Structure formats: C-alpha cells, structure tokens
Structure 1
Amino acid sequence: MPPITTENNLLVYQGCNFLKQRLILSVLSGKPIKIIDIRDNSIDPGLKEYEISLIRMIDKITNGTKIELDSTGTSLYFSPGLLHGGLLTHDCCVERNIGYYLEALIALGPFCKEPINAKLRGVTNSSESPSVDYVKQSAIPLLKKFLIVDDGLEMHIIKRGLKPSGGGEISFKCPVRKNIRAIQFVKSGMVKRIRGIVFGCKVSPALGNRAVESAKGVMLNFLPDVYINTDQNRGKTSGNSPGYGISLVAETTDGVFYGAEGVYDVTEKGENLITPEDLGKDVAFKLIDEIYRGGCVDSSFQWLASLYIALGEKNISKFLTGPLSQYTINFLQHLRDFFAITFKLSNIEEEEEEEEAEGGNNSKDRDRECLQVLMTCVGVGYKNISKRII
C-alpha cells in the first residue's frame, strides 16, 4: 500500500511490515513518518520488543529525534534527527539476533558526523535474521566497494550467544564519508574458493567436526579449495545457551561474496533433532543455490547495494544482481517514496539478445543469465552534511 503524504511532508504508512526500511530511509532523507494500525488485529497488538529496541538504538546515534508511541503501541510517529554516531553500547533484544540491528548501523554508518564505534550485546546467531558471521562475510565487503577508502571499517565477534538467553557481544567500527561513489559492477566472476566456520557453544566438539565433514563432502564435488574452520567456545565466550551452527562463504575472482548459514539451538529445538550431518549438507546446498542465483551481491543484501547506488554521486551506476527478492522490491518502492528515485531494471537476457542481433548468434548458457537483473540509476548525490571538513 503506497504511503499517504500530508502537507508537512509526513509519510503515513499502514502496518508493521518493513519497519527497519522505513526508519533507515526516514533518517537519511530527514522525512518524518507515521505508522498506523501496527498489528491492530493481532492477539498481541503493537510493536514487538525487538522493534522498540531498534528504535532506541537509532535514537542513540542521532540528535534531536522525536518519537511518539501511543498507549497501545499500534501507532508510531518518528521524526528523525541528525546522524551523530560516535560511541554506542546497546543491549539488543534476544528475539532477534544482533545482525538485525547491525544492518541498520551499516546502512547509516557512513553518513554520521562521528565514526561509529559500537558494542552490541545479545544473540549472535539465529535463523530469523542474517547472523553476525553472515553480515561480516557478505555485507562488509559490499560496503568496502562503495567507500573510497575503507580504513577504519572493522567488525569483531567478542563472544557468541545463542537463543534463548543470548550472552554474545560484537564490536563494529565504521568510518564516515562525505559521499558514496558511483559504481559499475556487472561481472561476478567465477568462484575460486570456499571458506567457512563451524561454531559450537556449550556442546561437544564432535558435533562441529561432523558438520564440517558433511559440508565439505558436498562442496568438494565442485571445487577443491574448500576450508572450514572450527570455533569451539567454552566458558565466558560461549554465551548463555547451548547450540552450534555453520556459516559458509564463496569468493569469486572478481571479489563477489556469496554466503549461507544454518544454526541449531539445542535448547529451543527440543525434540526436533537435526543431526550435524543434515545441517552441514543443508547449508552447503543453500550456498550452491546462492551461487546459482549469481549477481554481484548476496541475495540477502541486494537492498543494501540498492541504497548505496541510489545515494551515490550524480553519475550512472550499474549493478548486476540475481533475481530480486521480495524484500528488495519493497525497498526499491520505499526509495521512490523517500528520495523520488527509480531504477531501470533489465533482464540480462534481453541485452544479450540485442548483442546477438547485431553480431550474430552466440551460444552462451542462458540458464543462469536469464535469472540475473541489471540495476541502473543515476544517484541523488547524497552529501554527508554532518562530516567535518578540514
């Protein structure tokens, strides 16, 4: 449903979907938003605890933000302040993992006044949102491509924590930039190596080793350069709940990273036993599917690439992705609402057909190419007005 625009530039949305998208774009554009009918027909109406925690985190890195929430929690008014950044310590709600909050920091970090130096505590790995490993493997390299100089961009996992009790902690540092450069990234390259990590918290190391062997058994059929490390946590670094998981990343010759992950929470799953062999095999096939989708970005972070392209310099940017996810499609619609910017989306097959018509028949494998989408737009030339100029 498109937003209702009032006379004072207020955007009014209905429903709880895509709250994080709307908050991020509201802060970047400076446009206030109002969200009504938030789960008004639900047994538990209003904002969830993890959504309130996200709003509080954004409030910590901004100055002058005004937030109004009605008594039932079903109506939110959010008027953004100026991005300040700086030191941030935040205890994330354990209903969502830290990656849910980290995505917002990565999107807003380059446009702050002071470089972000954040410590986030909570659940590091769960299935609801991209985990901290996934973000580190896929989102951080993507951000590096758009920053002219990536000095000061760091992320470290200090302690791991799984659901339901969490206990994990990560540190994240992001530099500030005056603007984001335009980019033309249309070649994904061939996969040259696969790396991964299997972690365990308060469980036997044998479980992780079994997951490693199962995942490698699948991946070695396609590529010889496969290495999966094990990270067995004990004591204070293992969080408050038992469990284990696996995270894989494939790197191509052109610097593209595809990721896949899976986590098994011993406490929460209970009797629904999943063997380490099944977990390793499932994640390996997820990675293969991600590679097949292609493009120059992981499917979970297509929206992040779209944001950087839209806010880039006033020049033509081209970016090749796999099939657009529903989350990305809605993000493009929100970009149009907040920044009045639209993308030209063309199927890669159409351009190949035009080239063939001019230069004769070309016998390329179309199974993968027909799935890919070329995103083209002219950036709005977004400037970080808060960054100090020496």
Structure 2
Amino acid sequence: MPPGGGGEVVFSCPVRKVLKPIQLTDPGKIKRIRGMAYSVRVSPQMANRIVDSARSILNEFIPDIYIYTDHMKGVNSGKSPGFGLSLVAETTSGTFLSAELASNPQGQGAAVLPEDLGRNCARLLLEEIYRGGCVDSTNQSLALLLMTLGQQDVSKVLLGPLSPYTIEFLRHLKSFFQIMFKIETKPCGEELKGGDKVLMTCVGIGFSNLSKTLK
C-alpha cells in the first residue's frame, strides 16, 4: 500500500506473435459478482466490515455474490497500513466489468471508514454496469490498443460512454499509428439497457511480435 509500498507484483504472459481480431459486441447480462477485500497492517475485521457494507447494496440486485477476504501481517504486509476492495461482475457472454477502491495513504487526506469504502466501491461497480458495454471504463483504452495492434482485419467492440482518458487515447493512437476508428452510437433501448453505447470499429495495423521465448 502507498506511500511505503513494499509489495510485489508477479506478471507472466505467454509470447504471442500476432493478435487476433476481436468481435465483442454482446455484453450479455450480469450473472455473478466476485470480489476481494484486502487489508494490511490493520485489524482483520476491516476486511469483514468492507464485505458486509458492499453486500448490503449488491444483494438487492443479484444473489450470486462472493467476496473473499485477504489479510496480511508481518513482513508480508508491506510497509504501510491500508485496506481496499476489488469487485468484478461477470456476464452471461463471458465479459467482465470491474471496480476498485482503496483507502487513502497514511498521512494523506481524511481517514476512510471501511463501511464507506465498501458502499462506494459497490456503487462504482453498479455505475460500470449501468454504463455497460463489453469493457469497463478503466480498460477501454487497453482494448482499443489491442485492436489497433491486431492483424489487418476488422475488429469491433461495444463500449459504454467513452471516458475522457479514452478520448485522449484515441488521439494518441491516431498520432502514433495513423489509425482512426469508426464510431457508431447505439442509444439504449429494449436490447441495450443503461447508458448509451458506442460501437468501435477499426482495421488493425498487423503488428508482429519478433521476440523469442527464453529457454
């Protein structure tokens, strides 16, 4: 947790020579919600309080909810105290929408109650579900980047309203790769609930990965 840090992230990824074009146009309906409430260098009850407050909101909409708790102490807990919650909603078509919140770093800003954090994170997830699409607002730019680097074929993805970051990212894609997306607005109706959707279409540049697997 900030500001002291002290954690470790292990990232592994298989080597892929090319990226396949995608057709993500059916967001589906929410079928289950999973999450992780974590706490370090604070009382283990913090995570349980986060779970209870988040479930108090989410249980009104769907019964299939499971939020795990993860409490670390000692040398494995890093150098700063804190807690947070990560929620993921899975749809019937296999897409995922996520939301995450963490407490303010030690000595910065007002103290956050675990109950408030749990409720606010649950509301953030509901906001992402309302926005809809096949990718949540945090990962819109990543999906568009992978579409850009894909093979020279048509890729389509249905997104919710574009975030300001995504709009600026589209300008960067045009500057770096000279690629422009076809943007079609899909107003909400019987088939598409929630906010207005945007169908993004492009032809990839055919980027090929030249790296080799180390043995």
Same-fold status (TM-score > 0.5): yes
State the superposition RMSD in angstroms: 1.8
Matching residue within 109, 123, 127 for 1:285: 123
Match of 1:191 in 2: 30
Matched, 1:234 2:73: yes
Summarize the alignment of residues 218-229 of structure 1 with structure 2, pairs less than 5 Å apart.
218-229=57-68
| Distance in 2 between residues matched to 1:347 and 1:261, nearest whole Å | 27
Contact 1:211/1:280 (<8 A) preserved: yes
Contact 2:182/2:201 (<8 A) preserved: yes
Corresponding residue SS for 2:111: coil
Match of 1:364 in 2: 190
- Alpha carbons of structure 1 residues 191 and 366: separation in structure 2 relative to 1, 3 Å: closer
Match of 1:379 in 2: 204
Matching residue within 53, 75, 78 for 1:214: 53
Summarize the alignment of residues 1-390 of structure 1 with structure 2, pairs less than 5 Å apart.
162-265=1-104, 267-269=106-108, 272-349=110-187, 364=190, 368=194, 371-387=196-212
Corresponding residue SS for 2:144: helix
Q: TM-score by structure 1 length?
A: 0.52
Amino acid at match of 1:215: A
| Distance in 1 between residues matched to 2:209 and 2:192, nearest whole Å | 42
| Distance in 2 between residues matched to 1:334 and 1:269, nearest whole Å | 33
| Distance in 2 between residues matched to 1:239 and 1:339, nearest whole Å | 40
| Distance in 2 between residues matched to 1:294 and 1:334, nearest whole Å | 24
Q: Can you list the C-alpha shifts for 1:95-116, whole angstroms capped at 9, x where unaligned?
A: xxxxxxxxxxxxxxxxxxxxxx
Structure 1 residue 293, shift from structure 2 partner: 0.6
Unaligned 5+ residue runs, structure 1?
A: 1-161, 353-362
Amino acid at match of 1:275: L
| Distance in 1 between residues matched to 2:37 and 2:54, nearest whole Å | 10
| Distance in 2 between residues matched to 1:382 and 1:338, nearest whole Å | 13
Amino acid at match of 1:190: K
Q: Can you list the C-alpha shifts for 1:137-159, whole angstroms capped at 9, x where unaligned?
A: xxxxxxxxxxxxxxxxxxxxxxx
Structure 1 residue 366, shift from structure 2 partner: 6.1
| Distance in 1 between residues matched to 2:6 and 2:29, nearest whole Å | 38
Amino acid at match of 2:73: R
Structure 1 residue 276, shift from structure 2 partner: 1.2
Contact 1:177/1:387 (<8 A) preserved: no
Amino acid at match of 2:98: G
Unaligned 5+ residue runs, structure 2?
A: none
Corresponding residue SS for 1:342: coil
Q: Name the count of aligned residue pairs.
A: 213
Structure 1 residue 277, shift from structure 2 partner: 1.0
| Distance in 2 between residues matched to 1:208 and 1:267, nearest whole Å | 17
Structure 1 residue 297, shift from structure 2 partner: 0.7
Contact 2:161/2:196 (<8 A) preserved: yes
| Distance in 2 between residues matched to 1:251 and 1:257, nearest whole Å | 5
Corresponding residue SS for 1:373: strand
Q: Percent sequence identity over matched residues?
A: 50
| Distance in 2 between residues matched to 1:307 and 1:266, nearest whole Å | 31
Structure 1 residue 274, shift from structure 2 partner: 2.1
| Distance in 2 between residues matched to 1:253 and 1:268, nearest whole Å | 43
| Distance in 2 between residues matched to 1:383 and 1:240, nearest whole Å | 41
- Give the number of the structure whose alpha-carbon radius of gyration is greater: 1
Q: TM-score by structure 2 length?
A: 0.93
Structure 1 residue 269, shift from structure 2 partner: 4.0
| Distance in 2 between residues matched to 1:266 and 1:338, nearest whole Å | 36
Amino acid at match of 2:145: L
Amino acid at match of 2:67: I
Contact 2:39/2:72 (<8 A) preserved: yes
